[in-house]
A and B are shown apart, each in its own frame.
Chain A
């Protein structure tokens, strides 16, 4: 067991308490619930079109995902182009 591994373990207590609190809070108050219109609305879509252009290459990053990944955060608005 290394020193940094030990420090990481010390976070278990507060993290576990916070996770249990928020999970039960959500179960009672359901603040995260809303109409899932993305899934539950009848949508008739034509095939998606578009392009992919390779513009860069990354080597040796430790990030597991792209910066600002919002592919599943449909309700987070980005710059609106008119």
Chain B
């Protein structure tokens, strides 16, 4: 590799250094004793201890996890339905519009999604009296709206590459369509559903802009707390929080990777 294309490999290594350098610096300095984040004065875990006593951050983190789980589950259901509709039914009224609506949230700037949804919620509350105020519910609705698009894309590609002869065989053998769906289609697309759920979960955990627009005074998510504390300056507690997030995500991805690798090996 190196000998065949040294320039390319240098570019690749530079790219990885660029991607991981900042993350590595966060992790290293989360163990820094000094309050000034960039002055090293010895190893310490005191920022982790402080973080674990910070009720504001812990409360926000719990709220974010709750919203993200509900969001991911709803997004998987809706996104899968959208993917099924687009892959299985080539012709239906409003297909074009639906196709656009499924792709658009992937690229649409978050400020626009947030602003437009807030305007909708305000108008709905005035006319229908629902949703009452803004908070957990409105954030969840907003998150489902943009994360179901990501789920739909993931499931769509899985469905498109799936062998349909199994379903046809089951139907020929007299299985009811509902049974075929739950006994054959669903298990076959499960990896995509899991990937989509995880993606929707992280998107929701990570979202600052949309949540800021559609949340009320009672609901502050983790990114909102992080954002307000980051604007006040660099804080070692945030470094500790970042390290925890990075380590959790890396472990989750590694476990998922190993599981998938084993499954594939068994399947072959």
User: Do chains A and B stick together as partners?
Assistant: no
Where the two chains meet, the residues of B that have a C-beta atom closer than 8 Å to any C-beta of A are: none
Where the two chains meet, the residues of A that have a C-beta atom closer than 8 Å to any C-beta of B are: none
